[in-house]
Amino acid sequence: MPRMADDARWGRDFDPDRLARLELAMWKAYYRRQAGQLFRLLIRANIEQARVSFPRAVVAAFWLTWAAARFAGSTGDYDRFAPPLARGYRWLGLPSHVDAEEVARRELRWWVVRREIGLAAGAAAGDAITDLYSALYEVPASTVAEAGRLRGQAAEVRDRGAALDPDGPSGEGQGYWPEVARLLRESYRALSRAIGGDAGSGRSSIGEPLAGPDA
């Protein structure tokens, strides 16, 4: 597949606050079982981050959403979701030197960590996200550890808040979504600094890295 963006800048020139807002919207769509909304948000994310054409963004979103939706209803044999994730990442035009299969395995790993550990998965999820970023951007894990830690913490705040919310995970979540939003914003700011992103671009488009699901 042809490259649609400069390999040296792939996935780096994003507005971190904008990405955090989109990540938040994607998580809400996922937990409220709004598959169509999640798919639409993911298409926009693909175009923004990977600079791919609309048709390629749609194909990538199909594979990534397919994996996430089936993971949500699964109870085991999670490795079967890695190949469709890798297909999605390849459609995003990853630099030729980035291993799409390894990126997919690490993406899947942070989903599984949250599923298996449960409400206390924040630290382990953060470590798994750090490993994902390390593979995706080909940087030492220590470089992106703060971004991973904060995103993992955001996931734990969401999980604990939803568990205590009388309306359940599909409710308004006014007691926890604002804190999740703050942590995601700080996470993407940390990621942008770590990978030398263009945080001050001020572009009007929006997008973000794939938001991983949970149990």
Q: What is the pLDDT of residues 67-77, one digit of tens each?
A: 998 998 899 99
**Residue range(s) defining the domain that contains residue 86:** 7-195
Q: What pLDDT band is residue 215 in, cutting at 50, 70 and 90?
A: very low
Residue 215 included in any domain: no
Number of structural domains (the chain) is: 1
Residue 182 included in any domain: yes
For residue 212, count other CB atoms closer than 10 A to its CB: 24
Residue 54 included in any domain: yes
Mean pLDDT of the chain: 87
Is pLDDT of 214 > 70?
A: no
The pLDDT, as a whole number, for residue 60 is: 96
The pLDDT, as a whole number, for residue 35 is: 86
For residues 170-179, average pLDDT: 90
Residue 158 included in any domain: yes
Is pLDDT of 212 > 80?
A: no
DSSP-derived secondary structure for 60-75: HHHHHHHHHHHHHT--
Residue 83 included in any domain: yes
Non-local CB neighbours of 119 within 8 Å, separated by 6+ positions: 156, 159, 160, 163
Q: What pLDDT band is residue 45 in, cutting at 50, 70 and 90?
A: confident
Is pLDDT of 5 > 80?
A: no
Residue 210 included in any domain: no
Residue 174 included in any domain: yes
Residue 17 included in any domain: yes
Cα→Cα distances 202→9, 28, 43, 54, 184, Å: 17, 25, 20, 21, 19
